[in-house]
A and B are shown apart, each in its own frame.
Chain A
Amino acid sequence: MPTRRQFAALAGAALLAGCGYMRTESDGRTITYWASNQGSSLEFDKQTLQPELAKFEQRTGIRVRLEVVPWSDLLNRLLAAATSGKGPDVVNIGNTWSASLQATNALVSFDDAAMTKVGGRDRFVPAALAATGAPGKPPTALPLYSLSYALYYNKQMFADAGVARPPATWEDLVVVGKRLTRDKQWGLAIEGANPSENAHHAFTFSQQYGGEWFDDSGKPTFDTSANVKAIKRYIDLMAVDKIVNPSNAEYAKNESQSDFANRKAAMLLWQAAGSAFRAQGMSPEEYGVAPVPFLAQPPAGSRKVNSMVAGINIAVFRRSQNLDGAMQFVKFMTSDEEQVILNGTYGSLPSVKAAAADPAFQAPEQKVLSEVLNATAAPLPQVPAESQFETLVGSTMKELFAAAANDKPVTEDSVRSRLRAAEQRMRG
């Protein structure tokens, strides 16, 4: 039949959910949990989580059915579950989706009563709690794993090039990057074809240039001159400064991580990349971790922000047949004990204060990430249209990188007109 596939995709969110994911029995003894992929593989995550779930069952008698969902599928699966009302009881969400998912009204809001059940607001790291939904509304999810961006650099390459310390400003980074770019080695690796990764950098750079992607009423403000300068600064690392391999314009599957781990690039901007480096055979002694640079001369209105508040939140579906069990499970996952165990394994930061003090998080990498998270990280705009921003602006940047890689000029005008086009594709 003609448009079977489109219709299967469009009308079929509900049907898919209806056929594929049957509702759990509402006997009060079972819940279904969709975990996001945090470790090096889905299997690794299953092995990490299974003993903890067994512990939970032992204590409460509630059995948790676990499914680890890859990031590429998670949002679509959540949308299908929200549409059909059938699906898991507890889910992990990317914290940047909080406000978008909050708008669907599919998730339980953590009002004062719900917060009390999990030990109260004050237990949580404030920065992480800022990325759990629209400001002024009760959180739609609770922070589970916290992350921030940092600058990873190869110590040996820095020593070989005679660079004593990691750059603290973008201007410095360019100078250092040029010294490090030689032969088959590049100064910096970038994930240029990954819209989400691009959008995260768009946010940070825009903050440093004094820009905003949305105004107070949640309307997009993509093509302001601060945003144009911010995007151009990031693209210019490849287009003008030439410290990034043009091939990075087609990277979307963590190839930039591999380039850094395999000594093809000397620097990388990433969130808690240590465990991934280890999986690729790079030991922690080989690289240093520093905060992401700032502008040497910040323009008026610039904010001292060098990372988004990155992380994963845990949420409960409103239509769960076992709300009580689901809340108990959230309480368990955000308990001090589990926070230390799970974040310790994944290399991320605990989202509750008591666990953050644990010695497990005093390694150099975690210390830097934690300092950034607590002092100079800001949440991405907590507006319902945030996921559209990530897709549209992130894809626009992918096109700009493609242009730069093919030696086409990237000017302020070309950036502005593309951002304007992206803004016009947002639905008012």
Chain B
Amino acid sequence: MTTYTSSRSRRPPAHASWDVRPHAAPRKRRRRRLRRQLPYILLAPAVLLEIAIHVVPMLVGVWMSLLELTQFHIQDWSTAPFVGLANYTATLNLSTEAGRALFHSFWLTVLYTTLSVGISWLFGMSAAVFLQRPFRGRALLRTLFLTPYALPVYAAVITWGFLFQRDTGLVNHVLVDQLGLAGGAGGDRPFWLIGENSFLALLTVSVWRTWPFAFLCIMAGLQNVPTDMYEAAAIDGAGFWWRLRSVTLPSLRPINQVLLLVLFLWTFNDFNTPYVLFGRSAPPEADLISIHIYDSSFSTWDFGTGSAMSVALLLFLLLVTAVYLIVTNRRRHHA
């Protein structure tokens, strides 16, 4: 990273600052001080808001996680007993039911995130590559692909909820009634919103919502790949896959690096999709960590435990992010 002003290069030679006019010195010094402070002054509102909106609630969350903050104390937090790390030992303890449920939810979320990000990236990448060359109807397709990203989350997921209903949903209508794919002769239609399929339903909605963003980013990235590189590759006799491997993917590396990280964090923390799709209690097969933490705090009125889970999750995500950035940056330096 480079800083905004490299003051050294702009500073005049030392002897020039000692002007013959004696009153010029303070003005110049003032101007120099202002120039040095300007970035901080401009950044100050953003920093203050960042502290107020992100950092303070996080610190409050950390503090809450050290308290036994149940319904008996929520009105006056100062009465909540300080329990140290007891909330952490209780929730992260695999020998208790609560601990097992949390770890189940954690691994489920890891699986969900991996699959959702992987599939979304693959879809986005494929669509962007195939829409790279101009053809009739390209603009229309691009717009169409971006629709899920433009729709309001709630309206879209509620609609998916209707589609997935067992008796009246469109999914079963197509799969069972028209294609005859699922369900036996006895009219056994599959459930999508409860039981094992609920994970699949959740994943479908998540990919549907996420991939347009991947598509958008990769499409933007592809605009910056010089066409002469493709021409050079074509002259060398490179086919589609060869060009993809040696021109497209390396050129997109900086984009992909950020894109995958952002998608990972968004998907891991996704609350809206499961909450709107499943309502108050998600089936155990689709009990994502964000829903699990919400349930553990709001349904049971135990905000200390919920905060402890949140802080543990925050630490995990920070760790993943740090490792990811270190590894990818090192690779880039080596490259």
Contacts and interface: CB of A to CB of B under 8 A. Distances in A.
Interface string A106-119: 10000000000000
Given A6-B293, A6-B313, A11 B75 contact: no
Interface stretch (B188-196, B231-239, B248-256): B188-196
B58 A7 contact: yes
A425 B269 contact: no
A6 B74 CA distance: 18
B322 to A, nearest CB: 11
Contacts of B58: 3, 7, 11
B164 to A, nearest CB: 9
Contact of A424 (B96, B298, B302): B96
B64 interface: yes
B303 A391 contact: no
B20 to A, nearest CB: 54
B61 interface: yes
Given A7-B57, A426-B300, A384 B71 contact: yes
Interface stretch (B5-13, B126-134, B304-312): B304-312
A274 B303 CA distance: 39
A195 B290 contact: no
B114 interface: no
Interface stretch (B30-38, B105-113, B202-210, B275-283): B275-283
A106 B193 CA distance: 37
B123 interface: no
A406 B301 CA distance: 32
Contacts of B301: 79, 100, 387-388
B295 A3 contact: no
A399 B283 contact: yes
B299 A250 contact: no
A15 interface: yes
Interface string B173-198: 00000000000000010010111100
Contacts of A85: 75
Nearest to A391: B299
Contacts of A12: 57
A174 to B, nearest CB: 22
Interface in B34-61: 54, 57-58, 60-61
Contacts of A75: 298
B161 to A, nearest CB: 9
Given A11-B57, A247-B167, A395-B281, A3 B313 contact: yes
Chain A interface SS verdict (over half):
helix
A106 B299 contact: no
A9 interface: yes
Interface residues of B, number: 52
Contact of A2 (B167, B269, B271): B269
B318 interface: yes
Nearest to A3: B314
Interface residues of A, number: 56
A7 B62 CA distance: 10
A195 B57 contact: no
A427 B166 contact: no
B300 A402 contact: no
A424 to B, nearest CB: 4
Contacts of A3: 58, 269, 310, 313-314, 317
A53 interface: no
Contacts of A11: 57-58, 60-61, 64, 307
A424 B269 contact: no
A357 interface: no
Contacts of B269: 2-6
B74 A10 contact: no
Interface in B137-168: 165-167
A3 B318 CA distance: 10
B298 A252 contact: no
B83 to A, nearest CB: 11
A425 B193 contact: no
B195 A406 contact: yes
B328 interface: no
A79 B294 contact: no
Interface in B256-305: 265, 269, 271, 279-281, 283-284, 290, 293-295, 297-303, 305
23 contacts: A1-B54, A6-B314, A9-B271, A9-B297, A10-B64, A10-B307, A11-B61, A75-B298, A79-B301, A83-B74, A245-B167, A252-B279, A384-B71, A384-B72, A387-B301, A391-B281, A394-B281, A398-B281, A399-B283, A402-B194, A405-B194, A405-B195, A424-B96
Interface of A: 1-13, 15, 72, 75-76, 79, 82-83, 85, 100-101, 103-106, 193, 195, 245-247, 249-250, 252-253, 384, 387-388, 391-392, 394-395, 398-399, 401-403, 405-407, 421, 424-427
Given A7-B57, A9-B294, A247-B166, 11 more contacts: A2-B314, A5-B269, A5-B271, A7-B58, A10-B61, A11-B307, A195-B280, A250-B193, A407-B188, A425-B101, A425-B300
Interface of B: 54, 57-58, 60-61, 64, 70-72, 74-75, 96-98, 101, 165-167, 188, 191, 193-196, 265, 269, 271, 279-281, 283-284, 290, 293-295, 297-303, 305-307, 310, 313-314, 317-318, 321
**Shortest 4 CB-CB distances between A and B: which pairs?**
A424-B97, A391-B299, A402-B194, A395-B281
